[in-house]
Structure formats: C-alpha cells, structure tokens
C-alpha cells in the first residue's frame, strides 16, 4: 500500500469545511448563550422552554456595575425623575442606584494580576529558557526536570501550605502575592515551551551578531528575541489564560483588595436574588481581554518569520 | 589585513579532545584552506581563531596580538557561516549594514558603504528585499556583503559553498576567489572538499582527528603527502597503497615487492617491517614488459581518461589510463610505476619516509 500527498478534491474540501464549521458551532453555543443571557431580562433568562428571540435589555449590565436599594414610593418621589438611562432601568424594577458595584474594581484586579504575572513570567521564562538552551548549565537536565516536576501535581494540592506562607509573609489578598503565585505556577510551562522555541533558532544568528561587534546581551535582544516572537506570543497567551481563569487560589487567597473577577462573579448571584443576566454580563465582559490579547498576537502565532532564512 | 598564527592550540569538549596542539601560520593576504573530513577539528580550529570558541590552551595571534581569550566582537574579523545566518527579520540592506550600525557609523556613511558593497557583489536590485525569498546564491552574496562591508582584518568562512547546488558552487568559488584577490584580505576557509581546497587555496592545512597532518601549498600536498591519511584524502581516486613487508636502507633507491625490484626516489630514512608503497593512479603505466604483474578487474570510462582497477599481489589498485587504450577486464598485465613520484610510508605509524624527493616538504 502506498501513500501519496495529493491536492484535496473539492468534495474533501467541502467535507472538511462543514466539519470545522459544525465543530465551531458546537463550541460556540455555550458562549453565545452567555452573551445572549447578558442581554435578557431576568424573566427571559430563566424561561422554560428557553427563549431564543427576546427583547434585549441592558438591565443585566446595569445590575452588574451598580449597587441598588429597593425604594419605597416616598423615596422614589423624593428622588425626582430619573436623570440617566441606567437610573431609568433601575426605577422600572422599583430600585434606586446607590452607587457603583465592586465589579469594576475586581475586573481591574484581574487585569493587573493576569497581565502582571504574564509579563513577569515571560521575562523570567525567556531568560531562563535562553540560558538552558545556549549555555552549559551544571545539572542542566536535573534542573529542567525539577522545573517540570512543579507542574506534576495540581497546584491546588499545595493550597494550604501556600495559604499559611502567604499569611505569614503578609501576601494574603495582595496584588504582589497573586502575581508571584501565578508566575510560579506558570514558569515551568513557559521555560519549557520557550526553550523549545529557542532551541529551534540556529545559534549562528547570535554568533553572526557577536562577530558583527555586538555583545552577548545585545545579540540576545536584537537577534534572538525577534526570532522567538512567535514562541513568546503563544507562551504568553497560555500563561495569561491560566492566570486569568484561575479560580481556586483566588477564592482562597483573596477576599477584598486583590480579589479577581472569577471569585467575584458568583457572589453576584447571592446578593440580590438569582440575577442570571448580571452574572452572564460579568462573564461576557470577563472574556473580552483574553480575546483581544489573542487577536492582537494572532499574527505572531501564524507567521513563520524564520521561514526560508536558513537553508537546512 | 593581518597575519594569523596559532600556537599549540588545543580544545577539549568535556572529555572529548577536538583539537590537539595545532600550530601553523597564515600569512597576510593568503587564501588559506582548512581541509579534513567531518569531525576532524577544522571548524573548531576556525571558531577558535574567530573567538566563537575559546581554546583550552595555546595562543591565537592576529596581527601579532594575542587574542586567544578575547571575545569575537573585539577581534575585528568577519565570519561567513555555512547556513549564511542572515538575520531573517531584516532585509538585505539591513543585514549588510548590521556590522556598521554596531560601530555607530553615521547613517549617510552606512548607506554609501552598503551601496558600494552591493555594487561589487551585483545585488543592488535586491537591497530592499527580505532575505527569506532569496536564492541560495543571492543569500551567499548577502552573507559575503555583511562580511566585507567592515573591512575586517580577516575573513573566516565555514564551508560557505556547502549549502549551494553543485552547478552554482563552481561559479561561486570563482567569485569568492576573485573577491579575495580584489580585497587582498587574509581568508581562512574551512572545507571537506579536497577539490575545492586545491582549486582555491594558496595554502592548505589537512587535519584529521584533531591533528594537523600536513601544511603546505596544494601541489606539495598532492605530490608529497606526509601521511597515509593525506595521501588517501587528497586526489580522486586517491593514492594507491601496496602493502609489503621488507626493509629499506638509508640511501636505497629501490625496494623489493614480490621479488620484483621497484625504483624509488633515493631514501633518507631507513625502515624495517611493514611498509607501504604509495603511488598515484596517474603514475601507473600498463606495460607488459614490466615485471610487476596485475590483473584487470574493472574499468570506468571518464571521458578523456579511464580508471582501471587491478588486483595485485599487494592489494587492489586503481590506475589512470588514456581512454583510448584497449584494456580488457580479466587481462593480465605488467605494471610500471613512475619512480620519481613514489612515496614510502611506515605502515604502522602512517608517516611518510623521507626521501630526496619529498625532503623539505614533509
């Protein structure tokens, strides 16, 4: 039996296309459901059978970003007519807005901690990976295995010791603490992934730069880093997604100042009845940064920038 | 431009000894070939001269200055890599100007210099192209451009033609040689291709297992190999070896093989025991009158000449004969050797015995 590479026929192309579209639809349904629920009224959100066509409202988003109090007739009269569109939405439910909710703050925490740990992870990871890839490091294989081994158990298995350590070090509920924690968890992944990418870059590029009169460090950031951009971008996405979505440590180690969005979103359910549209709105907004980040780096993920520059 | 001298240079990688105590001098302006099979230490030697590897012991002098432990960036040399190593994220012009920009040369001057180099190499029209889509030859020219743009003290080239197609290699080797003559720069060139070495080099060092086997001009190395390795490595087909047991005394001018007396250049060294009689294929003549006999087992037609393989009492040999000579497989024939070109080797050490012919060369 022989195998050969042939151009796909029109039929196989269509078949593959339909398969991909079908798969995309299946994976996108829950996502679309969340986005849609964010624009439903509370009644529509729990309607059975579920409503697909509904009148969109921003109530969920208003509820997400504001704290409201149930108002009596007197209070409503005293407050006068609603001045803004979101006031109006709140009034329709017989409530008045008493101030902004904590979601914005929690979201900002997620951004600081997620991107902060990703940045730190990339800086440390790139340098470590470069050293492992290029230099003679004593006990290199053992060290690499040790780094990998930190990944071999679920991080949450060490939650209690970390909790105690954080308490003693005063890192509980701090941005710095969470950044360090997520960096520590992600570093093994980033070192291994990046080492793979840097190993692929021929060492001649750096040697050429050394000969051309550049120092080792200049060669690293002027020649190696641009070559490793693809690897750095994809590794950064992995790191960000982990840090961004992490729930267990966030619940355990943050409660106020440094609380991230994942542990906060479920608390919306409990504060004023089962407000599913607000939860869905929170989840939708929470998706945006990772999506934007991935789209921004997508060109690096796809572009083989070293293609053809070295003859193998 | 500079003279380069290496003295007792040695390089160990862990327990592996890549280069064992090499010493030789490359004169100013020479086109110098480091020749040897892969793994012989030639590239390591070159990289030590360039500063990409630091010698375990020994000294490297460039222009009289000891630079053995200096980093590459401070040696003012240029290196052309086998894989060219053009920076893939820069276009052709940027690649060529990169060494100049590291020195902080003003932009206008950089541009002038790059244009000048592009003119010499005939690549003016591709200066703004990315290096990714270039042909092998153009990449080679860009790599050369990056090397010569700085007027370095010396050029080091590590099998620069190895990545090119055979057809193009010929053309590029002429271009390289012409470029060298034009710049009159000291060039050290690593290759495993003996033809390339003979064709282009002013001088050749032949290395094997980290040891310098022989050092000299191409003709000397071809005619008077210092060791069996050199005799075998250079020439195609290589030198023939007839192994025999016997003795050669000082001042002898013949040896006994199978009771046939064969003339040799007057010997200086005397030796006893296992010896090897070395003769190049073109110095063997099929002559029925000769006492030493062989039987033809194969012929290969090569156009103007043919290679005749013969079985002899001392092993198989190859002779080069005119293709018009009628030679039949199975034929028994006498073999005459040109006595002026014979080299005797000590079969145990592999070293050539000194004679009045190779005196001063080995």
Q: Is the pLDDT of residue B204 over 60?
A: yes
Mark whether A179 and A73 lie in a shared domain: no
Q: In the beta sheet, which residues pair with residue A42? A: none
Mark whether A84 and A42 lie in a shared domain: no
CATH code (residue A203): 1.10.3720.10
How confident is the model over B294-338, as pLDDT tens digits? 999 999 999 999 999 999 999 999 999 999 988 989 999 999 999
Mark whether A284 and A176 lie in a shared domain: yes
How many of the other CB atoms lie within 10 Å of CB of B277? 24
pLDDT of amino acid A304: 41
CA-nearest of B52, B22, B60 to B40 is: B22
pLDDT of amino acid A1: 45
Query: If DSSP codes are grouped into helix, strand and coil, which group holds residue B321?
Result: strand
Phi and psi, residue A143, nearest 5° = -65, -45
Size of interface A-B (CB pairs under 8 A): 76
Distance, CA of A265 to CA of A251 (rounded, Å): 11
Virtual CA dihedral for A235, A241, A242, A247, nearest 10 degrees? 170
Q: Does B4-223 carry CATH code 3.40.630.10?
A: no
Q: With CB atoms and an 8 Å threshold, state whether A213 touches B103.
A: yes
Q: With CB atoms and an 8 Å threshold, state whether B52 touches A210.
A: yes
Mark whether A228 and A97 lie in a shared domain: no
Query: Rg (Cα) of chain A, in Å, rounded?
Result: 26
Mutate to test the interface with B, among A226, A309, A311, A312 (most CBs of B within 10 A): A309
| Sign (positive or negative) of CA dihedral B283, B285, B289, B294 | positive
Would you kindly state where each structural domain of chain B is located, as residue ranges?
4-223, 228-346
Q: Is the pLDDT of residue A312 over 70?
A: no
Mark whether A93 and A203 lie in a shared domain: no
Mark whether A131 and A198 lie in a shared domain: yes
pLDDT of amino acid A2: 53
Q: With CB atoms and an 8 Å threshold, state whether A308 touches B133.
A: yes
Q: Is residue A6 part of a domain?
A: no
pLDDT of amino acid A302: 61
Mutate to test the interface with A, among B83, B90, B97 (most CBs of A within 10 A): B83
Distance, CA of A153 to CA of B203 (rounded, Å): 62
Q: Which residues contact A163 (CB under 8 A, 6 or more apart)?
A: A172, A252, A253
Tell me what ipTM this predicted complex has. 0.79
Mark whether A84 and A233 lie in a shared domain: no
Phi and psi, residue A283, nearest 5° = -65, -40
How confident is the model over B267-286, as pLDDT tens digits? 998 888 899 999 999 999 99
User: Per the CATH hierarchy, to which homologous superfamily does domain B228-346 belong?
Assistant: Nucleic acid-binding proteins (2.40.50.140)
Q: Is residue A293 part of a domain?
A: yes
Strands A95-100 and B77-80, sheet pairing = unpaired
CA atoms within 13 A on the CB side of B311: 7
**A214: which chain B residues are within 8 Å (Cβ-Cβ)?**
73, 102
Mark whether A259 and A111 lie in a shared domain: yes
Q: Lowest mean pLDDT: which of A195-204, A225-234, A298-307, B229-238?
A: A298-307
Q: Which single residue is written with the structure tokens 């050369």?
A: B144
Q: Is residue A9 part of a domain?
A: no
User: Into how many domains does chain A fold?
Assistant: 3
Average pLDDT, chain B: 90
Q: In the beta sheet, which residues pair with residue B19? A: B11
How confident is the model over B72-105, as pLDDT tens digits? 888 889 999 888 889 988 999 999 999 998 888 8
Mark whether A193 and A287 lie in a shared domain: yes
Q: Is the pLDDT of residue B111 over 60?
A: yes
The answer to whether the beta carbons of residues A220 and A130 sit under 8 Å apart is yes
**B131: which chain A residues are within 8 Å (Cβ-Cβ)?**
309
Mark whether A123 and A251 lie in a shared domain: yes
Q: Which residues contact B279 (CB under 8 A, 6 or more apart)?
A: B239, B240, B242, B317, B337, B338, B341, B342, B343
Distance, CA of A148 to CA of A155 (rounded, Å): 13
Mark whether A153 and A81 lie in a shared domain: no
Contact of A75 with chain B, judged by CB distance below 8 Å, is answered with no
Query: If DSSP codes are grouped into helix, strand and coil, which group holds residue A22?
Result: helix
Structural domain including A72 reads 68-101
Q: Is residue A63 part of a domain?
A: no
Q: Is residue A129 part of a domain?
A: yes
Closest CA–CA distance from residue B46 to any residue of chain A (Å): 13
Distance, CA of B122 to CA of B111 (rounded, Å): 16
**B133: which chain A residues are within 8 Å (Cβ-Cβ)?**
308
Q: Which of A211, A214, A312 sits opposite B78 (nearest CB)?
A: A211
The answer to whether the beta carbons of residues B96 and B118 sit under 8 Å apart is yes
Closest CA–CA distance from residue B14 to any residue of chain A (Å): 11
Q: What is the 3-state secondary structure (H, E, C) of B100-142?
A: HHHCCCCHHHHHHHHHHHHHHHCCHHHCCCEHHHCCHHHHHHH
Distance, CA of B34 to CA of B62 (rounded, Å): 17
| Length of chain B as a residue count | 362
How confident is the model over A254-268, as pLDDT tens digits? 988 899 999 998 888
pLDDT of amino acid A125: 95
Distance, CA of B274 to CA of B24 (rounded, Å): 31
pTM equals 0.78
CA-nearest of B219, B216, B222 to B235 is: B222
Mark whether A44 and A95 lie in a shared domain: no
Interface of A with B in 215-234 (CB under 8 A): 215, 218, 223, 226-227
Specify the DSSP class assigned to residue B61.
Answer: E
């Amino acid at each position: 039996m022989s195998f050969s590479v042939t151009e796909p026929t029109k039929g196989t192309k269509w078949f593959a296309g339909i398969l991909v579209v079908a798969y995309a639809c299946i994976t996108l349904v829950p996502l679309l459901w969340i986005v849609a629920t964010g624009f439903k009224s509370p009644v529509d959100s729990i309607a059975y059978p579920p409503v697909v066509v509904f009148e969109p409202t921003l109530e969920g988003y208003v509820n997400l970003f504001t704290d409201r109090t149930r108002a009596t007739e007197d209070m409503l009269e005293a407050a006068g007519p609603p001045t803004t569109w979101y006031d109006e939405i709140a009034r329709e439910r017989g409530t008045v807005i008493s101030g902004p909710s904590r979601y914005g703050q929690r979201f900002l925490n997620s951004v600081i901690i997620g991107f902060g740990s990703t940045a730190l992870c990339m800086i440390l990871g790139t340098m470590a990976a470069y050293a492992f890839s290029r230099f003679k490091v004593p006990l290199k294989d053992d060290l690499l295995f040790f780094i990998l081994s930190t990944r071999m158990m679920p991080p949450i298995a060490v939650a209690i010791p970390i909790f105690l350590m954080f308490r003693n070090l005063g890192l509980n509920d701090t941005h710095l603490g969470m950044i360090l924690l997520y960096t520590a968890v992600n570093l093994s992944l980033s070192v291994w992934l990046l080492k793979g990418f840097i190993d692929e870059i021929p060492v001649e590029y750096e040697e050429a730069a050394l000969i051309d009169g550049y120092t080792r460090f200049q060669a690293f950031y002027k020649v190696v880093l641009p070559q490793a951009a693809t690897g750095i971008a994809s590794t950064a996405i992995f790191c960000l997604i982990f840090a961004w979505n992490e729930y267990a440590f966030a619940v355990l180690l943050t409660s106020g100042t440094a609380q991230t969005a994942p542990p906060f979103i479920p608390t919306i359910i409990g504060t004023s009845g089962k407000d599913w549209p607000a939860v869905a709105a929170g989840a939708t907004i929470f998706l945006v940064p990772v999506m934007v980040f991935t789209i921004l780096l997508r060109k690096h993920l796809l572009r083989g920038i070293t293609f053809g520059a070295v003859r193998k | 431009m500079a003279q380069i001298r290496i003295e007792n240079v040695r390089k160990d990688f862990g327990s592996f000894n890549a280069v064992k105590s090499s010493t030789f001098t490359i004169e100013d302006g020479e086109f110098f070939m480091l020749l040897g099979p892969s793994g012989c230490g030639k590239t390591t030697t070159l990289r030590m001269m360039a500063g990409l590897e630091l010698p375990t012991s020994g000294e490297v002098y460039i222009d009289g200055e000891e630079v053995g432990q200096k980093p590459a960036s401070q040696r003012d040399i240029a290196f052309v890599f086998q894989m060219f190593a053009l920076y893939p994220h820069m276009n052709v012009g940027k690649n060529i100007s990169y060494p100049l920009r590291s020195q902080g040369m003003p932009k206008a001057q950089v541009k002038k210099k790059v244009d000048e180099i592009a003119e010499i190499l005939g690549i003016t029209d591709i200066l703004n192209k990315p290096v990714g889509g270039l042909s092998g030859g153009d990449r080679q020219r860009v790599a050369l451009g990056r090397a010569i743009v700085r007027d370095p003290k010396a050029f080091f080239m590590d099998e620069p033609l190895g990545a090119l197609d055979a057809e193009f290699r010929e053309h590029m080797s002429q271009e390289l040689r012409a470029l060298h003559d034009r710049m009159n720069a000291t060039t050290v060139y690593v290759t495993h291709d003996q033809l390339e070495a003979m064709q282009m080099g002013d001088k050749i060092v032949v290395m094997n297992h980290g040891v310098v086997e022989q050092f000299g001009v191409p003709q000397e190395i071809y005619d008077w190999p210092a060791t069996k390795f050199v005799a075998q490595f250079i020439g195609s087909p290589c030198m023939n070896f007839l192994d025999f047991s016997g003795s050669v005394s000082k001042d002898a001018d013949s040896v006994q093989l199978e009771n046939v007396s064969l003339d040799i250049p007057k010997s200086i060294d005397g030796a006893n025991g296992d010896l090897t009689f070395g003769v190049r294929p073109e110095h063997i003549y099929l002559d029925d009158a000769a006492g030493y006999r062989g039987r033809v087992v194969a012929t290969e037609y090569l156009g103007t000449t043919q290679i005749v393989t013969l079985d002899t009492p001392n092993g198989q040999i190859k002779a080069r004969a005119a293709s018009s000579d009628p030679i039949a497989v199975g034929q028994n024939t006498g073999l005459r050797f040109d006595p002026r070109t014979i080299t005797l080797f000590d079969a145990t050490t592999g070293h050539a015995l000194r004679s009045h012919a190779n005196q001063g060369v080995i």
